[in-house]
Amino acid sequence: MACSRCFAGFFCFLLMVALPAAALAQSITGMGELPREQQAEPIRDVLESPPSLERRTGTYGPVDRQGLHADDIPPFGANLFRGGFRGIRSSGINPAYRIMPGDQITLRTWGAVAMERVLPVDAQGNIFIPQVGPVQVQGTSAAELNGRVESAIRRVFRDNVSVYTNLQGVQPVAVFVTGFVNSPGLYAGVPSDSLLYFLDQASGIDVASGSFRDIRILRGGRTIATVDLYPFLLSGEIPRPQFEEGDTLVVGPRGPMITVTGDVSQPYRYELDAAPRSGQDLLQWVQTIPGVSHALVRGVRETGPFSVYLPITAFRDESLNAGDEIVFSADQRADTIVVELEGIYEGPSRFALPRDARLLDLLDSIPVNPELAEVRSVSIKRLSVAERQRQSLEDSLRRLETAYLGASSATAEEAAIRAAEAELIQNFVQRARQVVPTGRMVVAHQGQISNIRLQDGDIITIPSQSDSLLISGEVLVPQAMIYVAGQRAEDYIRRAGGFTERADERNILVVRQNGEVVSASEVELRPGDEILVLPVVPTKNLQLASTLAQIIYHIAVAARVALNI
């Protein structure tokens, strides 16, 4: 039972480590901008002896190639027929629709002659109007129909006649859809339906073998239109031929393909309408991400395997063949990085800097009020440091599991104790893995700031001057207290109710505002510090005790800071 209570203390400590200091830091660094009437000075003027500046140039990195196999990449346009082109039609008639035999036309006249009739278009393309005679309307567009009929009526009734016509219904047509489609067959529609409507009724193009660029409409054995769907996929441009009864829609076989991966909006296989083609022809279809600078061309030529790595300008003139693979790459580092500020300062919170910029180069341009900002406690949160902290903690936890959970037991009683401890250790490991390292780097030591080179995504913290301390960890009442000059860590712990029964009274840490971790016995306390009391390791196994102590210390540090630089 004692063992269980001690291990349970670790869990409480893990939660205490992750929360109080972060809350205090938020109250310290989140005070916002200074009042304008207060005097602000550059940080270099506040620091006593800044180090000299150095410059360093950046380097270019390698191509980052996506590991995709060509068979896993869909052809461009593969999702076209998931949009429901065979859905509900518009209730109106296309104004460009051409009148055909079998259509129905409503005619109304008033004035000198009154008439209301529904007139069919006969096989000769005429409608017959009483007292007027036959009027040729076949081939007339729906928009032109009223003018054609009114002109014919006015040749007989010259004065005081008004005419209104409406295309009431159109003759349905049946169109054969064949070739490389998923469900070839005969499908019904109306003459003004789009070819996408008929293709969708045939369940779309077979993406494994059909072409999106070779679609033909046959009438009487002749090709009356050839359609390329690529312009429609990108800009909505598509021919609108008017279908007739018995037309045939044929999807041709897929043409030569080129696979495109890398820094593009989405990897696709693109079909060439002719071969060979240049890189410029391909680029009109491919959506590359901003900053793409190079293209890797891989394939086979008459001389054997072929590979060339080209700047994007040279790639435009490169000849491409069927089966080539193109890997686009933003293989050029940006000239600038973006860093962020938090805490007490004036001005913007984000800065675009040269890639070789250093910390003091930026801080020189940041105005601060020396009475409010603790400029000697500047620190940086960096993603790469957080990842190293996480990996180090994971390695320690893995060693703990290996060293303890795999150990053998000499007696049944020892085995029972080990089983209970093993469950507690597994729970401890699970909680420890939930701790998120901050990636904070200590860049200030003894009042001096190291002039390190900044990295993209760095968050620079300029904390405020504080008049309090935080006491946390294994004390009875963790709390913040007003700083009193000359008092030691033990004095503040006593005012916080003293140590808990799990406290390691010889292992008291002080965490500075900049994240630096030192022993309480080695430093003089100052405002803004955090006093952290670690728990004692409840085991007589020396190897296990050493491993647990290391992990506990690592959690206390990684939840706030990185190692000194």
Domain ranges of the chain: 2-52+340-558, 70-75+256-329, 104-169, 172-253
Return d(Cα 139, Cα 524) in angstroms, integer.
98
Percent helix / strand / coil, the chain, rounded to 5 = 25, 30, 45
**Beta strands 530-535; 468-473: pairing state:** parallel
**pTM of structure:** 0.46
Confidence at residue 218, expressed as pLDDT on a 0 to 100 scale: 95
Give bridge partners of residue 135 from the DSSP assignment. 127
Superfamily covering domain 172-253: Outer membrane lipoprotein wza domain like (3.10.560.10)
Q: Is 319 within 8 Å of 272 (Cβ atoms)?
A: no
Count the Cβ atoms, other than its own, within 10 Å of residue 153. Answer: 21
Helices (H), 411-513: 412-432, 489-495
Q: Is 250 within 8 Å of 49 (Cβ atoms)?
A: no
Q: Does domain 70-75+256-329 have CATH number 2.60.120?
A: no
Residue that has been written with the tokens 């939930």 in this structure? 434
Return d(Cα 510, Cα 490) in angstroms, integer.
12
The H or E element spanning position 337 is strand 336-343
Q: What one-letter code names the amino acid at 61? A: G
Return d(Cα 44, Cα 363) in angstroms, integer.
7
Return d(Cα 528, Cα 525) in angstroms, integer.
9
Long-range Cβ contacts of 411-419 (<8 Å, 24+ apart): 417/3
Confidence at residue 86, expressed as pLDDT on a 0 to 100 scale: 67
Return d(Cα 192, Cα 247) in angstroms, integer.
13
Confidence at residue 92, expressed as pLDDT on a 0 to 100 scale: 53
Question: The dihedral of CA 542, 544, 545, 547: what is its sign?
Answer: positive
* Burial class of residue 465, CB neighbours in 10 A (0-12, 13-18, 19+): middle
Q: What one-letter code names the amino acid at 106? A: T
Residue count (the chain): 565
Peptide bond into 276 cis (omega under 30): yes
Q: Hey, is 427 helix, strand or coil?
A: helix
- Residue environment code for 528-556, b if the CB has 16+ CB neighbours within 10 A, otherwise e: bbbbbbbbbbbbeeeebeebbbebbebbb
At 535, list the tokens.
């728990």
**Beta strands 444-445; 126-129: pairing state:** unpaired
The H or E element spanning position 147 is helix 145-154
Q: What one-letter code names the amino acid at 129? A: I
Q: What is the pLDDT of residues 2-11, one digit of tens each?
A: 444 444 444 4
Judged by phi (left if over 0) then psi (alpha if -120 to 50, else beta), residue 22 lies in alpha
Count the Cβ atoms, other than its own, within 10 Å of residue 475. Answer: 23
**How is domain 104-169 classified at the architecture level of CATH?**
2-Layer Sandwich (3.30)
| CA-wise closest residue to 565 among 438, 437, 446, 452 | 452
Q: Is 47 within 8 Å of 449 (Cβ atoms)?
A: yes
Q: What one-letter code names the amino acid at 262? A: G
In degrees and rounded to multiples of 5, residue 555 shows phi and psi of -65, -40
Domains 70-75+256-329 and 172-253 share a fold: yes
Q: Please give the radius of gyration of the chain, using alpha carbons only, rounded to the nearest integer.
A: 39
Cα 370 from chain centroid (whole Å): 41
In degrees and rounded to multiples of 5, residue 509 shows phi and psi of -110, 155
The H or E element spanning position 150 is helix 145-154
Tell me how far apart the 2 most distant CA atoms of the chain are, in Å. 121
At 134, list the tokens.
């036959």
Q: Is 427 within 8 Å of 11 (Cβ atoms)?
A: yes
Confidence at residue 89, expressed as pLDDT on a 0 to 100 scale: 55
Q: Is 74 within 8 Å of 268 (Cβ atoms)?
A: yes
In degrees and rounded to multiples of 5, residue 80 shows phi and psi of -60, -40
List of residues 6+ apart from 441 with CB closer than 8 A: 379, 380, 381, 382, 385, 452, 515, 561, 562, 565
Return d(Cα 337, Cα 358) in angstroms, integer.
11
Return d(Cα 300, Cα 322) in angstroms, integer.
9
Q: Which stretches of the chain score pLDDT less than 50?
A: 1-38, 48-67, 90-91, 560-565
